[in-house]
Structure 1
Amino acid sequence: MATPDPLRPLPAPSTEAGRDGLAALLARPARAVVALDFDGTLADIVPDPEQSRAHADAVPALSALAPRVASVAVITGRPADVAVRYGGFARAPGLDHLVVLGHYGAERWDAATDTVHAPEPSPGVEAVRAELAAVLERTAAEGARVEDKGHALAVHTRRATDPQAAFEALRGPLADLAGRHGLIVEPGRLVLELRPPGMDKGVALAEYVRETGAEAVLYAGDDLGDLAAYATVEALRAQGVYGLLVCSGTEVPELAARADLLLSGPAEVAELLASLARHLELDGTVPADWPRAD
């Protein structure tokens, strides 16, 4: 991808609230948090989730932007250490204070210490793990595969013979299985994740904004699990915090309809981050005395 011209105009949000959010981020970057989903936002969606990697332009863009805002956080349904590994975030220049909130915020990795803080595994997940293969066999969802996330289990149908039909066929049986063991099912783009209740990206984002004291928030996501984070940004706006909602891709209409800014996918997300960094570079960086969340 060509290096963005530092004078090239940033993409214009389609809503007044989004334009205000972008203006606040540019005017007061030291009071701004940039929070992003991983798969579909920083990384392209791939048939095998274990082959997912951050877009080639994502880490350089984050490295350029992070020193110029109060904080950058990645909020993902993946385990925090997996997102760090697949993202290539550890020891990346400029990402000394990056935070990765994994398992929808139940886990946390801090670049400053290179450590993960995680809860004890849910007994419900262990019970579901023991029964899941039998449920898949009974449902005859040929080609569906299980991703074991430790604290959650995700059933992917992207490689099934008929991906959408397998997804729909599994929704009911997996909801029943999850409910018997105190779990919930989080639907996504051809994936159904069984996980403990109580945390979602909205809760994780709200807690992180309170921790940082941010006055402006950019959140970018691509899937149904990001709706909770969108709702948090909308609630924060009512409390006087500026917000910019970015949607990566248009595959999830429910998300795209609520976004202030629509981008085509991870390549354009990385371009936006790099362009923000270049615009902020013209005005200096975050003051050294601004408290960071480390």
Structure 2
Amino acid sequence: MEAIVNDPAGAVIGLDFDGTLSPIVPDPAQAVIHPKAPGVLAELGARVRAVAIVTGRPAATALELGPGLADVPGLVVLGHYGFERWEDGRISAPPPPPGVPRAKAELPLLLESLGVRGVSIEDKRRAVAVHTRRSPDPEGTLEALREPLAKLAGEHGLVVEPGRMVLELRPPGMDKGQALSLFLAERSARSVMFVGDDLGDLAAFEAVRASGLPGVTVCSGSAEVTALAERADIVVDGPDGVVALLEELVSAIGGT
């Protein structure tokens, strides 16, 4: 953290969205960014080299759920684990992989055949996610779905990304770690911080350490995921804790 405070112009701040900037909710479509997050990110963006949101969501969805984010100076949103990029009001991305709509079309019948109840399918356009949070037995249902969904993903050239009561079928070849590494190189970063909450953020933590830069990893803590907290330099209490930490960072930079 000291390197970021002493040289903010060389710092890249990366953050996950769900569970980090936005509280986890039963229906992902009802998620909303922490009310203080856009403001503190705007203050941070005016001081550091770059602020990047690295999320499994489509970039446009993160912006829709985060009113005010588009006004953060220099913000870049790397959606779909880095396959998609929003910057300066424009989205760039390769064509959607054909395996995703095919897998999505087969999911309802597969879920019916397995007899699972209370699950929901989220169409993320470049990925498709199965949420078990509203199932009578969320964890048991998640475990029961791991093998069948892995098989379905493999049949369509996809991989399964596990998360907090969710299994996501998405294209291989990119993860948050690769996305962050490429972004750090692009911006010639001199220090880095990454904040996340879920298993998909482990790759970004590894990228921070592999970068060779002064860096800090922060876990937005929860009772659902402990693996990330075990690998983090700093653990805070959910999105409230994330915002408080960012406010402290802004204050520390402002005082230098």
TM-score, normalized by length of structure 2? 0.97
Mapped to 1, the partners of 2:115 and 2:167 lie a distance apart of 16
- The Cα of 1:254 is off from its aligned counterpart by 1.3
Stretches of structure 2 lacking an aligned partner (at least 5 in a row) = none
1:49 aligns with 2:28: yes
How does 1:1-294 map onto structure 2 within 5 Å? 22-92=1-71, 95-110=72-87, 112=88, 114-236=89-211, 239=212, 241-250=213-222, 251-283=224-256
CA RMSD of aligned residues (A): 0.9
Stretches of structure 1 lacking an aligned partner (at least 5 in a row) = 1-21, 284-294
Q: How many residues align?
A: 255
Pair 74,91 (structure 1): closer, same or farther in 2 beyond 3 Å: closer
- The Cα of 1:89 is off from its aligned counterpart by 3.7
Write out per-residue CA displacement over residues 133-161 of structure 1, whole angstroms, 9 at most, x where no aligned residue.
11111111100000000000000000011
Mapped to 1, the partners of 2:43 and 2:155 lie a distance apart of 47
In the alignment, residue 56 of structure 1 is paired with which amino acid? P
Pair 90,255 (structure 1): closer, same or farther in 2 beyond 3 Å: closer
Write out per-residue CA displacement over residues 210-258 of structure 1, whole angstroms, 9 at most, x where no aligned residue.
001111100000000001101111111xx3x111000001432211111
- The Cα of 1:90 is off from its aligned counterpart by 4.7
Q: What SS does the corresponding residue of 1:257 show, helix, strand or coil?
A: helix
The percent identity for this pair of structures is 52
8 Å CA contact retained: 1:61, 1:271: no
Q: What SS does the corresponding residue of 1:204 show, helix, strand or coil?
A: helix
In the alignment, residue 65 of structure 2 is paired with which amino acid? Y
Structure with larger Rg = 1
Mapped to 2, the partners of 1:30 and 1:87 lie a distance apart of 25
In the alignment, residue 128 of structure 1 is paired with which amino acid? A
TM-score, normalized by length of structure 1? 0.85
8 Å CA contact retained: 2:42, 2:73: no
Q: What SS does the corresponding residue of 2:145 show, helix, strand or coil?
A: helix
Higher relative contact order (CA 8 A, sep 6+): 1
Structure 1 residue ranges, 4+ long, deviating more than 6 angstroms after superposition: none
8 Å CA contact retained: 1:57, 1:271: no
In the alignment, residue 49 of structure 2 is paired with which amino acid? A
